[in-house]
Structure 1
Amino acid sequence: MKRTPAALWIWYRGTDFLGFQRQPEGLTVQEALEDAMRKAGVPYPIMPAGRTDRGVHARMQVASVRLPPCYTSEMLAERLPPHAPPGIGLCVARRPPEGFHAQWSAVGKEYRYRVQLGGSVAEAWRPFAMEASLEPRLEGLTLRPERVAELLGATVGRRDFYAFHEHSSLRKPRTLESATLHELGGGLFELRLRGDGFGRYQVRYLVGSTLLTAAGGLSEELFRSALESGTPIPGLKAPAKGLVLWEVRYPSDKDPFPSEERARAPGLPSAPPFCLPDGAETQAA
């Protein structure tokens, strides 16, 4: 009998893991998840939509897996959660459309980055947000939200982001569809970046370098030149703890998760880093 495919929507807090991908030493999300799945009766490896680095969180990581004969996605949804360690959970397990693959079917992703631009970060958010005033290259500099929003908007477009990702990632044009700044309250802001693909550390370098330029620690001329030509600059890589893989997107005929389900994220914890303070937000001008 054939094994049946399943699509998993997984969330995790990256704080206690050495990234997603299995490694020879140290606990990773993949190792912890596959161990939990073995205990739930699925002894097969998973294929994620992509990897996240050490300390990065995911509201929506998607994974493909094959289930044993006579084992259904509904059974996995019931049996997996009791074995999942703290910091990892399952939102949805479902049989996907024909031809679905978590990685190769994906057409885009959205990342969100939380940064405290003014005041003191709330204790609940401290492990999940960058505190700009504590970054050595930003210390003593002024960060105005409207200036951050202006420079962030300049990153949108199809371009070579070579200056803003690790050179181990393939150099090729990538499209950043939108990049916006949102105020979450209490001096906490969220940068939302949506695109068709990202190189390694690209979001963190874009965020950090945007903040550095907005604060006057990097010239705007260099920043914009790097965006247009890919010429390396002494940019800033923002810390991992503020970054969340928010969503993975698929074509409508391949997407296992309908839009209304994506909006309500069943089973997602309401605590940081996934919720908004006081339930309020506004987009910075």
Structure 2
Amino acid sequence: MESQVLKAVISYDGSKFYGMQKQPGKKTIQGEIEHALTKLNIISEVKHAGRTDRGVHALNQVISFDSPYFWEIEKLQNSLNKILHPYIHIKKLSKAPQNFNPRFDAKKRSYRYLISPIFSPHTADYVTYYPKNINYPLLKESLRILKGRHNFEYFAKTGSSVNSYVREIYHTDIFEYKNLTVIKIVGNGFLRGQIRIIVDFLLKINEDVLSLNDLKAQLNGKLISKHLAPPNGLYLERIWY
């Protein structure tokens, strides 16, 4: 039976899963969506634009899968959402070219990281608790250093298997919104753990444990600090094609 390629924009609560990518014996976003498809007698591998770690959320992750032509798109979206509810939600489902690849066709991606000085058990899975004053001018300058094309090898998880560690960051920002500190980074692509390692580095600069010169040195190939900020404050925000 001939099939159509469908593109879905999805959001999910990453605190309920062991990450995006399917893993044996673990509850993952990819695994849950493929399971939902099988309930509708659709057997297809789900491809995704980016692998998010356990506990990391998405506002607009992009996936693709094959579907028989007889499925009407709106009905399929509603049927999948009923099965996936409440922690995964398909925001938009549409036809895509047969050769569409959500990972390799992406032009740029944005992430945001949320930090709160106020602890609440109700938001603990969704923001990172950090009870210290933020030096916004200092961290804005730190983020400006990251802009441009760099080798981010020492800002990637150990064991990352990639052809190149070079990535380009187009835009950065840090600002206060209500009681939250929001860090935003837009780039052509990101390595595993890159945003979380950057955020940890920034917070150490904020505490005067590390300096702007340390940040420049690590970008230039000297390992200074390589630790992951907690996953719960990280959101895959948007992907452009």
Superposition TM-score, scaled by structure 1 size: 0.78
SS at match of 2:157: coil
Q: Deviations over 1:36-94 (max 9, x none)?
A: 12223322121111211100001111111110142232331121111114311110110
Q: Distance in 1 between matches of 2:150 and 2:36?
A: 41
The 5 A counterparts of 1:186-205 are 186=179, 188-205=180-197
Contact 2:4 2:98 in 1 (8 A): no
Shift of 1:123: 5.5
Within the candidate set 233, 236, 241, 1:245 is matched to 236
What residue in structure 1 maps to residue 123 of structure 2? 125
Contact 1:114 1:189 in 2 (8 A): yes
Shift of 1:173: 1.5
What residue in structure 2 maps to residue 147 of structure 1? 138
Q: Distance in 2 between matches of 1:97 and 1:192?
A: 31
What residue in structure 2 maps to residue 52 of structure 1? 52
Q: Distance in 2 between matches of 1:123 and 1:184?
A: 20
SS at match of 2:82: helix
Q: Distance in 2 between matches of 1:161 and 1:127?
A: 28
Contact 1:212 1:236 in 2 (8 A): no
The 5 A counterparts of 1:203-282 are 203-227=195-219, 229-250=220-241
Q: Distance in 1 between matches of 2:123 and 2:177?
A: 12
What residue in structure 1 maps to residue 29 of structure 2? 29
Within the candidate set 167, 170, 176, 1:174 is matched to 167
Q: Distance in 2 between matches of 1:198 and 1:94?
A: 26
Q: CA 1:56/1:181 → structure 2, altered by over 3 Å: closer, same or farther?
A: same
Q: Distance in 2 between matches of 1:242 and 1:39?
A: 32
SS at match of 2:146: coil
Contact 1:19 1:55 in 2 (8 A): yes
Shift of 1:242: 0.4
Shift of 1:98: 5.8
Shift of 1:145: 2.2
What residue in structure 2 maps to residue 164 of structure 1? 155
SS at match of 1:179: strand
Shift of 1:146: 2.3
Give, as a single letter, the amino acid of the residue that structure 2 aligns with 1:158. R
> Identical aligned pairs, as a percentage?
28
The 5 A counterparts of 1:93-112 are 93-97=93-97, 99-112=99-112
Q: Distance in 1 between matches of 2:123 and 2:170?
A: 28
Give, as a single letter, the amino acid of the residue that structure 2 aligns with 1:236. H
Shift of 1:121: 4.0
Q: Distance in 2 between matches of 1:230 and 1:185?
A: 37
Superposition TM-score, scaled by structure 2 size: 0.92
Q: Distance in 2 between matches of 1:82 and 1:226?
A: 47
Shift of 1:151: 1.2
What residue in structure 2 maps to residue 271 of structure 1? none
Q: Distance in 1 between matches of 2:186 and 2:143?
A: 12
Give, as a single letter, the amino acid of the residue that structure 2 aligns with 1:242. G
Structure 1 unpaired stretches of 5+: 134-140, 251-285
Q: Distance in 2 between matches of 1:183 and 1:40?
A: 44
Q: Distance in 1 between matches of 2:82 and 2:226?
A: 43
SS at match of 1:95: strand
